[in-house]
Structure 1
Amino acid sequence: MKRKNKVTMNDIARAAGVSQATVSLVLNQSRHIKLSDDTRRRVITVATELGYTRLPAVHTPHNQEEIALLISSLQSYDPFIDAISQARETAWRNEVLLTVYDYGDDTELALNIISQLEKRNCIGIILASPVTAAIDMSEYEGCTRLPVVLLNQRDPASPLTPSFIPDDYANAFQITRHLIAQGARRIAHITGEEWMDATRNRLAGYQDALAQAGIAPVTEWVRQTNWQFNESYLATQSLLALPEPPDAIFCASDWLSIGCYQALAANGRRIPQDILVAGYDDQKISEQMMPPLTSIRLPYDELGRLAVEYLYNQEDAATHVTLAGRLKVRSSSLGPGQA
Structure 2
Amino acid sequence: MEKKNKVTMSDIAREAGVSQATVSLILNNSRSVKLSEETRQRVFSTALSLGYKKMPAPHNDSGQEEIALLVNAMPSYDPFVDALSEAREAAWRNDTLLTVYDYGDDAELAVRIIAQLNQRRCAGIIIASPITQSIDFSPFANQTQLPVVLLNVYDRAFPLLPTFLPDDRANALQITRHLIDHGATRIAHIMGDNWMEACEMRLEGYREALMQAGMPQDDQLVQATNWSLNETYRATLDLMKLPEPPDAIFCSSDWMTIGCYQALTELHLRIPQDVLVAGYDDQRIADQMTPKLTSVQLPYYELGRMAVEYLCSGEDAATRVIMAGKLKVRSSTAG
What code does the residue aligned with 2:47 have?
A: A
CA distance in 2: counterparts of 1:211 and 1:35, whole angstroms: 64
Q: What TM-score comes out, normalization by structure 2 length?
A: 0.90
- Could you tell me whether the CA contact under 8 Å between 1:12 and 1:43 is conserved in 2? no
The offset of 1:270, in angstroms, is 0.3
Aligned positions of 1:304-323 closer than 5 A? 304-323=304-323
What code does the residue aligned with 2:211 have?
A: A
Match for residue 159 of structure 2? Answer: 159
Alpha-carbon distance change, 203 to 14 in structure 1, aligned in 2, over 3 angstroms: farther
Question: Between Structure 1 and Structure 2, how many residues are aligned?
Answer: 324
Identity %: 59
The offset of 1:181, in angstroms, is 0.8
What code does the residue aligned with 1:274 have?
A: D
CA distance in 1: counterparts of 2:121 and 2:240, whole angstroms: 58
Match for residue 138 of structure 2? Answer: 138
Match for residue 3 of structure 2? Answer: none
The answer to whether structure 1 residue 202 and structure 2 residue 198 are counterparts is no
Match for residue 83 of structure 1? Answer: 83
The answer to whether structure 1 residue 269 and structure 2 residue 265 are counterparts is no
Q: What TM-score comes out, normalization by structure 1 length?
A: 0.89
CA distance in 1: counterparts of 2:23 and 2:107, whole angstroms: 32
The answer to whether structure 1 residue 174 and structure 2 residue 163 are counterparts is no
CA distance in 2: counterparts of 1:23 and 1:111, whole angstroms: 37
- Could you tell me whether the CA contact under 8 Å between 2:8 and 2:52 is conserved in 1? no
Q: Deviations over 1:21-47 (max 9, x none)?
A: 986654344456x69879977764543
CA distance in 1: counterparts of 2:60 and 2:29, whole angstroms: 10
The offset of 1:287, in angstroms, is 1.0
Structure 1 segments unaligned to the other structure (5+ residues): 1-9
CA distance in 1: counterparts of 2:187 and 2:21, whole angstroms: 42
- The counterpart of 2:9, out of the listed 13, 21, 26, is 13
What code does the residue aligned with 2:206 have?
A: Y
Matched residue SS, 1:63: coil
Match for residue 332 of structure 2? Answer: 332
Matched residue SS, 2:243: coil
The offset of 1:100, in angstroms, is 0.9
CA distance in 1: counterparts of 2:134 and 2:23, whole angstroms: 35
Aligned positions of 1:245-324 closer than 5 A? 245-324=245-324
What code does the residue aligned with 1:227 have?
A: W
What code does the residue aligned with 1:13 have?
A: M
Match for residue 6 of structure 1? Answer: none
CA distance in 2: counterparts of 1:40 and 1:225, whole angstroms: 53
The offset of 1:103, in angstroms, is 1.0
Alpha-carbon distance change, 216 to 23 in structure 1, aligned in 2, over 3 angstroms: farther
- Could you tell me whether the CA contact under 8 Å between 2:56 and 2:93 is conserved in 1? no
Match for residue 126 of structure 1? Answer: 126
Matched residue SS, 2:68: strand
CA distance in 1: counterparts of 2:323 and 2:238, whole angstroms: 34
The answer to whether structure 1 residue 117 and structure 2 residue 117 are counterparts is yes
CA distance in 1: counterparts of 2:212 and 2:44, whole angstroms: 55
Provide the aligned C-alpha RMSD in A: 2.4
What code does the residue aligned with 1:196 have?
A: M
Q: Deviations over 1:284-309 (max 9, x none)?
A: 11111111100000110000111011
The offset of 1:235, in angstroms, is 0.9
Match for residue 183 of structure 1? Answer: 183
CA distance in 2: counterparts of 1:232 and 1:17, whole angstroms: 46
CA distance in 2: counterparts of 1:22 and 1:273, whole angstroms: 51
What code does the residue aligned with 1:298 have?
A: L
The offset of 1:148, in angstroms, is 0.3
What code does the residue aligned with 1:266 have?
A: E
Aligned positions of 1:46-85 closer than 5 A? 46-49=46-49, 50=51, 54-55=55-56, 58-85=58-85
The offset of 1:328, in angstroms, is 0.7
Matched residue SS, 1:61: coil
Q: Deviations over 1:240-273 (max 9, x none)?
A: 1111111000001000111101110011010000
Match for residue 243 of structure 2? Answer: 243
